[in-house]
Chain A
Amino acid sequence: MIYLLAGNPNVGKSTFFNFMTQSHVHVGNYSGVTVEKRVHHVKHYEGANLVDLPGTYNVSPSSQDEGIVTYSLLNESYNGVVNIIDSTHLRRNLHLTVQLLELGVPSMLVFNLKDALKNNGYVIDIDKVKDRLKVNAISISARDRQNEDQKQIASEMQNLRITKALELDYDPIIKWGLQRIHDLLRYDVIQVKKKWLALQILEGNEGTFKFLDLVKEEKIREVVKEVEDRIIEAKVAFSLKGAIFNTRREFINNLVEECLIKVEEKEHSKYFNQKIDRIITHPKFGIPIFFIIMLAIYQVSFGTFLGVGNFLTTYFEIGWNDYLVYYLGQALEFLGLTGFMYGLLIDGIMGGIGGILVFLPQIIVLFFMLAVLEGTGYMARVAIVMDRFLSKFGFNGKSIVPIITGFGCTVPAIMATRTIADKKERILTILTIPFISCSARLPIYGIFTSLFFDEYRAIIILGLYLLGIMVTLLSAKFLNLTYFRGSGSKFLLEVPPYRIPQLRTITYQALEKAKRFVKKAGTFILVGSMILWLLSNIGMDGININPEESFLSNIAGFIAPIFNPLGFGDWQATSSLISGVLAKEVVVSSLNILYVGDIAAGFTTLSALTYIVFASLYVPCIATIATIKSETGSLKWTVFSVIYPFVIAYLVALSVNLIFGIFL
């Protein structure tokens, strides 16, 4: 049994999905389109799977992401649809609901955010909803994770009513068009109801043509055109789509009026929002406030004063080096393993992974605090504050989401650009986002700042982040002036109310990032460290040689001179950068291995600075490059995404070397 889970964006769909399936895991890719869909079995319902579709306002797609919903409804087999609805925004959410009910498949409505609605002084009369729409429905609060709710939903899913398709009273001209298209669809063999399909076609759902090979496509398009002209001529609405929309809006308004019941007079939180908004998005103070908040966050994560993250890392480091590695070394010696094997295990693997894992506490602290910020609704205000600024560089307003995601990991950030409808704007965002400092680059900043700039850690790390942002913006401007000329940017943002974030959600998000970090350490970095150590200890003369004569030294030594102008032209620093393309954290483990734990010996204060600047901007990691390839589908842009950052990183690092060379 397969059930599709559909709903608007930001209505607690993922919370609901995790709640119903009791999973935090990503299970697998779902066949069909190239985009990932999460599938998991439903608790208390043997043999049933829930498919998490991307959030959408509408069945008809306006971006690639939303096309999946149309595709799934048209081309995949399923037993029912579960529609999750934000109870506090019924009038908007129900547009999708109406479209799903018009399809006439077994459906269930889940009205989420019951508690928030109650706080506003309202309840939903569920019995009336059931009666009016003839579907199963329930009102819940997915955040509370009530066991009874879970059981009731599962049991209702097993007994979904066979629903008759919802029929709204559209304008006679539209009804006429529906009939004409319906007749033309007789030539096609299609799984879904043709009446629904006809309506979607009239609405301008291009997905219907894209995913179905309709025999009479030409004729159908002519009918759509004719209906549109007649609608405008008869002054029913400004467009055909608008006429359909208005009928639905009227139906929804009546429904809401009947089913939404006021139980208590409450002062609306909007005015509270406004007061805070005035300060936080102030034209002069908005940006400084943002930077002060960010600086405080980096100070707590990495700084020494009030530095929770730094404090924890110190103990983590002691535990790792003085206990774990020490006793492991003792054990190996006891077993008689010395020389090559000892070196591989202790210096190679433990040294390589340890160099990364020590940053785990700092990363957890950082992401915990960023998740708090996100949960409060502040990030949407940052988008408002930054809009004027971003638009000057030709960014789409929606780019702010991928940019913020990019601070975590570039790969999901690039995938998040799917919500940008304009293709040019999307590619522009994809190409510039790798400059945003992802969390994998943090260990590099962490190690160098602790060795060379201990007093100014938070400021230098924040500075590197700002540099990344600046290069992103300037690159966007540059590309906009050259290749992507003339793509205008639009800004339309839903402003969420301020909320007190849930501790469980935040902890979960931070731990999820930590888990990914550890997983990477156990796979990519482990293998990378081993290979690197082996290459640096094997040469033409066999094993256990002087590293200066190793294979690695020979290969990297050949390339190294190009970094001489930047001040770090030795083979160790170069090899570390090359291996960093595997995953950025590997730069640190490589440095640890190649300088045998004494990185400070390999750099001057100035070359350390140019090195981190270069490392923060150069070639993206393999995972990112692969994602760029699959998302743009273009070899040209993929190659560009490798060469362009290298050139930029080189130029910026060179400038840093020249400018700071005067002071340092």
Chain B
Amino acid sequence: MNSLNRNRFQTPNGMSRRHFFSHLAGASALAGSALTLGNAFAANADILRRNRKSAILLWMGGGPSTIDLWDLKPNAATGGPFKPIATNGDLQICEHLPMIAQQMDKLSIVRNMSTREADHMRGRYYMHTGFVPQPSIEYPSYGSVISHQLSDTRPELEIPPFISVGGGSEGPGFLGMAWAPFDVDSNGNVRNLDMGIEPSRLTERVQALAQLENRFVKDKRGSAAAEHVKVVQKTLQLLNSEQMSAFKVDQEPTEVKERYGQNNFGRGCLMARRLVETGVPFVEVNLGGWDNHQNIFATLENNLLPTLDRAMSALTEDLSQRGLLQDTAIIWMGEFGRTPRINGNTGRDHWARSWSVVVGGAGMKPGIAVGQTSDDGTSVDGTSYTSENLMATICKSLGISLDTTFTSNNNRPIKIANGAAPIKELFS
């Protein structure tokens, strides 16, 4: 390669030279400068890490029967067969969650959730965003909002700040595709990582690509053209990043994997811990199958509850032992709860009026039950909370100002968590 060429290729269009080479040069002569850059980060890392907040959302797709898990009604005719057991917190939970019961000194249950969306897609959107679906605005989901707010506190992060394990989550809405969830399966496999060409040749291609893309962006054809450029940049950052090893759950010792459970959700929770340790501000782990219109009790007892019990208890315990729980919020929820009555197929149907979510960590008050439902579970007694209140609570726990205001795609000011108040019992 002659010198003219070198200059041609090393004068990138629209992207910094250091940016590329720090990630792509590998063992070349430029590795030195990349290393220096790395050291600069290392010097600040401790300070940053001290204030580094994260959140893990355990998403229960289908709408979990919270009356059978967190707010049992053993004396009600339709309370179902499960018995409550004592925990090490100041509350009782389902007998089929014995390991979580031993972690309830670190978690709290909000038993007075009351929402109005009992359709899967609407409920899913509402619980993920704090807003009901509207045709004119696409609201950003938890992961997009939180990673958007927290990513400044971790300049060293090379992998995406919002990772969704084993499910699709909800999108970034008006924050743009750069804040979209990065989906991985629970084995942490990311497809198509191996480039199979020389890093220098990739660099050349990527620089030429920037030239083509920028020409198209300058045409003023709409935002999609520029969004693509941003995502290409994020992809390049991710390639060759050592932080990718956070996805490799298999590197954990067998006994750790056993503790979390050798299933998708167990591996997902274990990956969530590794990702938070690496600095990822938001991880969503999905456990589906809660839409139990029929045969609910056997499904819960034999299948869902043992899976949940292992993974969630191990995750809570590990975060606590590693000193991460004080800065990491855990949210357990689905799109709604299930009917306090039992239908003709021994199932429970959709129910949004009175149900529970579980939260913990990041300074939220642990070991308590917030609010209560009526004796048969069909309504909330006293104060009730909504998705907006819950989102405000999580933001507050992560140190995100509730005065934060976004500008939506149609130029309207949108308050974070729709301007709602946090759940006060969790901060007293």
A binds B: no
Residues of B within 8 A of A (CB): none
